[in-house]
Amino acid sequence: MQANYNLKSLNTFGIAAIAAQYVAIHHPDELSQLLPQLQSNSPCLILGGGSNLLLPDYYPGLVLHNCIKFIKVVEERENEVIVRAGGGVNWHEFVLWTLQQGFGGLENMALIPGTVGAAPVQNIGAYGRELKDVFLRLEALELSTGKTRTFSNEDCQFGYRDSFFKQPENRNGFLITSVSFLLTKQKHQLYTHYGAIQEQLEHKQIKQPSPQDVAAAVIEIRRSKLPDWRIYGNAGSFFKNPVISEAHFKQLQTQFPSIPSYPAGTSQVKVPAGWLIDQCGWKGQRQGAVGCYKHQALVIVNHGGATAAEILAFSTLIMKDVQEKYGIELEREVNAISTTLTP
């Protein structure tokens, strides 16, 4: 365990946050000696890849860094395979590994930053697919009791960028040690209709794409839109795509005929947050060290030296503009840890 640990290199926003105490967990057994401290009601933060997190300048509690790394084929069937991975495995590296083995199912979620253990918390997704579509089960250590619990797909209560683990009463209460996925071994249905995937495949003259082709297209699209966090600190999509009523959408359509949308269930419509923000003139705008990325308005970037408070203030201005122009309330996708904490 280390005191006053600088987390700047462990969060993609590049916030120079200091943790009062920090420990890296490489095996679940290492948590047993920490249980007395974990059960003392002192603040505790579970850290994965730090990619969907906005840290305060100082965190007064213990930061548990999930570094449990392994990948294992648990069971193979004729057309399916169950793969289990440690919570600390890099998500994109895991996706690439599955594709190299000839396993399909994760191709649309290539290049999403973060770790395997953080993926169910957020129910990560991209280009029409979500983690819940391939999720089988996970194992997690309940910090308050020290017991290992197994969660099924239903137990996780997955929603749009939401899960059981994101609820206020459960947040930072479970360290996810492993996740199991049900993937395909043979040709399966590919999802290429969402976003620019089909356009990218046609540009490459690929008429019968493989999962590897879809992943390559997704990687190229994401790299063209999203900044490298090593150059511009960011957490990817800062806001969720809002879901509004069909009636509200039709009303907006009369005033803004070009407004894009995607189906989101009965009488519900999903509107791209990036489009709304762009139409409000925020793309490429900057205030001090914080700004909207020039190629994707959905991404807020740290140009260097920004604090969490400055990033939150910038995002609030964007939310206000979207609300005033479209009557839509944006919701932050990034998990912002309280910035009022002081040493």
Which active-site residues does the annotation give? 161, 237, 333
C-alpha 217/C-alpha 286 separation (Å) is 30
Sheet with 147-152, strands from edge to edge, namely 71-76, 80-86, 174-184, 135-142, 147-152
Can you give the chain as a three-state secondary structure string? CEEEEECHHHCCCCCCCEEEEEEEECCHHHHHHHHHHHCCCCCEEEECCCCCEECCCEEEEEEEEECCCCEEEEEECCCEEEEEEECCCEHHHHHHHHHHCCCECCHHHCCCCCECCCHHHHCCEECCEEHHHCEEEEEEEECCCCEEEEEECCCCCCECCECHHHCCCCCCCEEEEEEEEEEECCCCCCCCCCCCHHHHHHHCCCCCCCHHHHHHHHHHHHHHHCCCCCCCEEEEECECCCEEEHHHHHHHHHHCCCCCCEECCCCEEECCHHHHHHHCCCCCCEECCEEEECCEEEEEEECCCCCHHHHHHHHHHHHHHHHHHHCCCCCECCEECCCCCCC
Cα four-point dihedral sign 105, 109, 112, 117 = negative
In DSSP terms, which residues pair with 150 in a beta bridge? 139
Structure tokens at 116: 């395997």
- CB contact at 8 A, 30 and 24: no
